[in-house]
Chain A
Amino acid sequence: MSDVADEVAQPLMHGCPIADSRGQVVLHAGRDAYIGVLKKLIDDGFTMCSDLTAVDYLTHAGRVLPEGIAPERFEVVVNLTSITTRDRIRIRVQVPESDPVMPTAFNLWPGTEAMEREVFDMFGISFEGHPDLTRILMPEDWEGHPLRKDYEIGHIPVQFKGSHS
């Protein structure tokens, strides 16, 4: 593995800034470098994709990011596991609201198919090259993407004096 533990002002792995989050290694990749970084990480031994999800940072815009990474509204987060070295690594990619498109990881791991469909359904981020990008959890004709911050939770007012709804 290349220059990970060097005492550089900006530690890099595969050309992307690396950060530490509560003892867990986080790689901040750009959208263009995303697939290349994933392929290199597979070569490094991270053969298992544990999780692929997204976060909407509309209400928390002031989060801490390494230098050189511009914060966008959405982030796609991928967690990889290495069975041989028993390590984990997390990759975070910023996705702008105006252009919510990401390349698909389906060709690297077929197991990301359902996870990317869920991200599409819940956040509206499309994945280029995904074989079947349709809604998975909501009905087919549902409008809106429920896990976005500007989507109301949709609760009905409860007729109870103590309730704050």
Chain B
Amino acid sequence: MTTLDNIRQTSEGAQEMRSRSELRPQELMREIGAVLRMSEAEVAALGNVPSDPEEDQTMIINMGPQHPSTHGVLRLMLELQGETVLRCKPVIGYLHTGMEKTGEALTFLQGGTNVTRMDYLSPLNNELVFSMAVEKLLGIDGDIPERAVWMRMLLSEMNRISSHLLFLATNGMDLGAVSMMLYGWREREEVLRFFQKVTGLRMNHNFIRPGGLAADLPAGWRDDVRAILDMLPGRLEEYDILMTDQPIWRERLQGVGVITADEALALGTSGPILRSTGVAWDLRRDQPYLRYEDVEFDVIVGTYGDAFDRYAIRLNEIRESMRIVRQILDRMPQGDYRVQNKKVTPPPRARIDESMEALIHHFKIFTEGFKVPEGEVYVSIESPRGEIGCYIVSDGGPKPVRMHVRAPSFVNIQALPHMMRGGLVADAVAVISSIDPVLGEVDR
């Protein structure tokens, strides 16, 4: 097969951006501005572009799917006039893994291994929302022991810290502050080492399971968490000096990728993008889950809806997460790390040698899977990227009929064309980076 054949194969056909002369006004409406921004008359006028190619001074270039900006396999088609971006069309699907189809073939206990690989930067949050949905279907969501709930909160907030640290690292590197990449990873390694001690893995832990968690916290975990909490504030101060107050950083981020609150709501964005426009919507505060109504923390909100606001929100969310973790350190209750419901959680390994019943329960749970009563439920939590939701439909069997994850990055990417319009090509990288997409959950 010649190289030429391969090049022809990489065309995505109708999914790609077509030149302006080929477009109907309705598609222009989608690509340039949605209902809020332009009236029908304006859009129709745009559609009547003369088809004379001499007049068409714009060029369509392709960015990705393999490009050095570390956000994964996102392909952007940009229509440029000189350096200005007129239209932008993201083409996704390069990481489509069929996870929702795989989810229908796995039992509810195995589902965590599948879901955790969607947003691979905050895997514990994926597992948490899946487990919460399964527990709601089972009807045991009120029976989860206190210690398990507080442990889940601890892990979720530590995951938020590690995810935002990675955002700082990649955002810095995308904008040229390459040393920020090394600093961010240095801090992230500490958190990953804590995860390895607790869950056994650095990533994709499959630790939060329906009914509780897979194991208890190891001895000495308080010292580990305290070491991380003591180290981080000083480092965050360094980042403030390196980036926040720096004129180059501000020039590159302020006023770039501006989105208004109405547009953000209409596009369905959530998380730091929505909060940067001034809408104070954080699911931990507004629809509390776990024990977030018992801990004190602030919701960071921006004003201008630009990339600098999103950067500052995430930087300060690390500080808020540290505040929450400090409170969890003081208030972690004693107790069980999982609900003692023999039909749902497997018995401890030691009991299998002693009790036939335990052996049978273990066998049934791990081979056939526990049965979940019929019904459908949608549960959502606040992941570092926005609202992640899990919609599960069960027919009373051990495997779901439908397992759908509402991925925040999938919806947030729709805001890209609006943010990029009118900006420069160099700002395109800044905008993608400020949305902080994870293509694993975009494509699932």
A72 is an interface residue with CB less than 8 A from chain B: no
A101 within 8 Å of B (CB atoms)? no
The answer to whether B30 touches A140 (Cβ under 8 A) is no
Output the residue of B96, B98, B268, B411 with the most chain A CB within 10 A.
Answer: B268
Size category of the B interface is 35 or more
Stretch at the interface among B224-232, B240-248, B340-348, B370-378: B370-378
Are A110 and B377 CB-contacts (below 8 A) given A55-B401, A59-B401, A132-B30? no
Say yes or no: A79 contacts B265, CB within 8 Å.
no
Q: How many A-B residue pairs have CB under 8 A?
A: 131
Interface residues on A, range: 35 or more
Rounded to whole angstroms, the CA-CA distance of A143 and B424 in the bound complex is: 38
Interface of B is mostly: mixed
Also in contact, A51 and B391, with CB within 8 A (given A110-B266, A134-B14, A140-B13): yes
- Select from chain B the residue with minimum beta-carbon distance to A131: B30
Q: Given the complex of chains A and B, what is the CA–CA distance between A139 and B269 in angstroms?
A: 26
Contacts of B268 in A (CB 8 A): 48-50, 109, 111-112, 115
CB-CB under 8 A from A147, the residues of chain B are 100-101
If A90-B378, A111-B411, A138-B96 touch, whether A79 touches B389 (CB-CB below 8 Å) is yes
Binary per-residue interface labels of chain A (55-72) against chain B in the complex, 1 for a CB within 8 Å, 0 otherwise: 111011001100000000
The residue that A64 contacts in the complex, of B36, B279, B374, B389, with Cβ under 8 A, is B374
Q: Does B197 reach chain A (CB closer than 8 Å)?
A: no
Interface membership of chain B positions 87-129, coded 1 if the CB is closer than 8 angstroms to chain A and 0 otherwise: 0000011001010111011000000000000000000000000
B202 to chain A, nearest CB (A): 27
| B15–A136 CB distance below 8 A | yes
Asked if A43 is at the interface of the complex by the 8 Å CB criterion, the answer is no
The dominant DSSP class at the A interface is loop
Contacts of A90 in B (CB 8 A): 378
Q: Is the CB of B375 within 8 A of A53?
A: no
A114 within 8 A of B: yes
A141 interface residue (CB < 8 Å to B): yes
Contact A51 B265 (CB under 8 A): no
Interface membership of B404, Cβ < 8 A? yes
Check if B376 sits within 8 Å of A139, measured CB to CB: no
Q: List residues of chain A with CB within 8 A of the CB of B389.
A: 50-51, 79
Inter-chain contact A153/B376, CB cutoff 8 Å: no
Q: Can you name the residue of chain B whose Cβ is closest to the Cβ of A146?
A: B101
**B130 part of interface (Cβ distance < 8 Å):** no
| Contact flags B2-20 to A (C-beta < 8 A → 1, else 0) | 0000000001111100000
Q: What does the 1/0 interface line of B352-389 toward A look like (CB < 8 Å)?
A: 00000000000000000000001111101000000101
- Judge whether A134 and B15 touch: CB under 8 Å: yes
Of all chain B residues, the one with the shortest Cβ separation from A114 is B414
Interface string of A14-45 (1 = CB under 8 A from B): 00000001101010000000000000000000
Report if B406 contacts A (CB, 8 A). Answer: yes
Does any Cβ of A come within 8 Å of B27's Cβ? yes
Residues of B within 8 Å of A111, CB to CB, are 266-269, 411, 414
Inter-chain contact B414/A110, CB cutoff 8 Å: yes
Interface string of B210-253 (1 = CB under 8 A from A): 00000000000000000000000000000000000000000000
**A4 interface residue per 8 A CB criterion:** no
* A30 vs chain B, min Cβ distance (A): 19
Does B165 touch A at the CB level, under 8 Å?
A: no
Inter-chain CA distance A157–B443, complex, in Å, is: 25
Assembly CA distance A118 to B279 (angstroms): 28
Supply 7 further A-B pairs (C-beta < 8 A) apart from A48-B265, A77-B376, A146-B101: A22-B377, A60-B393, A88-B287, A109-B268, A111-B411, A132-B27, A137-B96
A residues bordering B, Cβ < 8 Å?
A: 21-22, 24, 26, 47-51, 53, 55-57, 59-60, 63-64, 77, 79, 83, 86, 88, 90, 106-107, 109-115, 118, 122, 131-132, 134-141, 146-147, 153-154
